[in-house]
Structure 1
């Protein structure tokens, strides 16, 4: 059996450099790693923070919480929650927020987590295995139309209808799907064509994972929360791994990077811009060669503007 791939933090130095920005050589204040994962970004941030700096991390995954317990730095704390809990922080209290979206290599490469069609394992896919429905539990009861909508909207899968029909037919004939292997085999039979080099189940697995973890809804909530909790001059750094995530981030930054005029009150002063878009960064060729999973990453950087008096 192949050994699980070691987790390699994507855009490690680029993300931390962008987050700390012009904060100086020994940054103070409160900083947030919204997705601890296996702690690559958090550990690098702590290396750079000064004695008065504090780093607060969030993660849903119990295994990530276990990994975070290995950090004994008194400046560090972590909450076993999704990063939408940024909303719990006080207004303008944070100097920078980092969000590294998607799944980590250990999650993908641990068969029993059920994220990958490369292994035949329980069909779970929950980021937080202590709460919520697994994919298998949801598919056991969901209506065909709902399954099709999830696979189409979150997986951008053009064969969503036939896949959903096959899932329901299988459920009625042999009982609910229980393993990743069963789902991958069923999808392969329902997908007529696929891009070269891509497993037919790729888009379906992505869709079900995003849905069962409410990933896009949580991203939207976290972005809105970041706008409130960031202090003037604070940085927002988001690393996305597929177009649905990146589109949300791009549109959010664009929306708040311009003045807004109220057409109903043409002489009223405009609502000032709240963010300044700073950069869009892709992994270097060297990073992609060393870590092929970084290929699809896109990092967007924005800065909170000064709040008018």
Structure 2
């Protein structure tokens, strides 16, 4: 393999903030190339244990020959279910790197990147699911497309883009990256690379229900983490970062109102370790430009 599967972002900072206990039990929600898992394993003794999740079948190729690691080929939204299946009720730490792996971006057939014009618009992280990006572009209503591009891509002309897609799919095929680019080229605003990056982000998030998965995983943490256990999450875009930040602060996604009698809000089950997110160093960004938008947030179970 010419290119590394994935360069782990903020690996040293993440493991340091996690405060790994040598005999502890940890969950890596996004195993990928195994970089973060490997860093945790180096801190564990023979009694330590790591459960690694990844819904992408390709990640299985990176599992080390190490009896301390158990691989679960499923989405991390099923975290509690599979931990219990492996007789684990509580863990000392949970990590998640919410970025798309370099392997997924660099493999043309996966359709994650705007660089490969002939690629099918796939974008499934779990190849077992049916919904693809092409499926969304050819079946979603104009209103659904508008909401998706606006909410998950922050596309400036989301409404115009949605209308154009609905009109064009009646006339031309929209199954490959190139067909899609050509179909919407008249309405591209600003820098085309940035524009399509935002559009592809919205499609990828929707195909993989990334927000739903993150939401479900976060909601399981208060009952899964031991007292003093830590969760470390790396995000790459503002929607995810806001969700993680809000959940760490309040312990829920509900809009909590102040108690009218006592003037208090329900207390979060977390102590926030990173008042501001940890960002990659200039040296890391130079070595790995894809790390530039990464933010690491860490919280501890009270």
Structures share a fold, TM > 0.5? Answer: yes
Alignment pair present for 1:30 and 2:25: yes
CA distance in structure 2 between the partners assigned to 1:262 and 1:92 by the alignment = 33
Q: Is 1:80 the equivalent of 2:73? A: yes
Where in structure 2 are the equivalents of 1:11-22 lying within 5 Å? 11-20=10-19
Assess if the C-alpha contact under 8 Å between 2:110 and 2:123 holds in 1.
Answer: yes
Verify the 8 A CA contact 1:187 1:201 in the aligned structure 2: no
The 3 A distance-change label for structure 1 pair 254 and 187 is farther
User: 1:63 maps to what in 2?
Assistant: 58
Q: Which residue of 2 aligns with 1:133?
A: 131
- In 1: Cα distance, 2:179 partner to 2:186 partner: 11
SS at match of 2:42: helix
- In 1, the alpha carbon distance for the partners of 2:244 and 2:202 equals 18
Helix, strand or coil at the partner of 2:299? strand
Q: CA deviation at 1:262?
A: 6.9
TM-score (norm 1): 0.88
Alpha-carbon distance between aligned partners in 2 of 1:56 and 1:293, rounded to the nearest angstrom: 26
Distance in 1 between residues matched to 2:152 and 2:109, nearest whole Å: 23
Secondary structure of the equivalent of 2:80? helix
CA–CA distance in structure 2, aligned partners of residues 111 and 266 of structure 1: 58
Deviation at 1:301, TM superposition (A): 0.6
Corresponding residue pairs, total: 291
Aligned to 1:292: 289
SS in 2 for 1:157: coil
**Pair 1:194-2:190 in alignment:** yes
The RMSD of aligned alpha carbons is 2.2
TM-score by length of 2: 0.90
Counterpart in the other structure of 1:275: 270
CA distance in 2, matches of 1:250, 1:270: 17
CA distance 1:140–1:270, shift in 2 (3 Å) = closer
Instruction: Tell me whether 1:161 sits opposite 2:169 in the alignment.
Output: no
Paired with 1:186 and 1:173, the residues of 2 have a C-alpha distance of: 9
**What CA distance in whole angstroms lies between the structure 2 residues aligned with 1:214 and 1:62?**
18
Post-superposition, which runs of at least 4 consecutive aligned residues in structure 1 deviate over 6 A?
none
Residue 166 (structure 1) shift = 1.6
Shift in Å at residue 139 of structure 1?
1.9
Corresponding position: 1:231 with 2:230: no
Q: Which runs of 5+ in 2 are unaligned?
A: none
| Residues 127-162 of structure 1: per-residue CA shift (max 9 Å, x gap) | 011223111122222111111111111001111111
Flag the 1:109–1:261 CA change in 2: closer, same or farther, 3 A. closer
Instruction: Supply the distance in 1 between the matched residues of 2:260 and 2:234 (Cα, whole angstroms).
Output: 37
SS of equivalent to 1:72: coil
CA separation of 1:171 and 1:301: change in aligned 2, threshold 3 A:
same
**Deviation at residue 186 of structure 1 after TM alignment:** 2.9
Whole-angstrom CA distance in 2 between matches of 1:202 and 1:190: 15
What is the DSSP-based 3-state SS (H/G/I as helix, E as strand, rest coil) of the residue aligned with 1:299?
A: strand
Residue among 171, 175, 180 paired with 1:178:
175
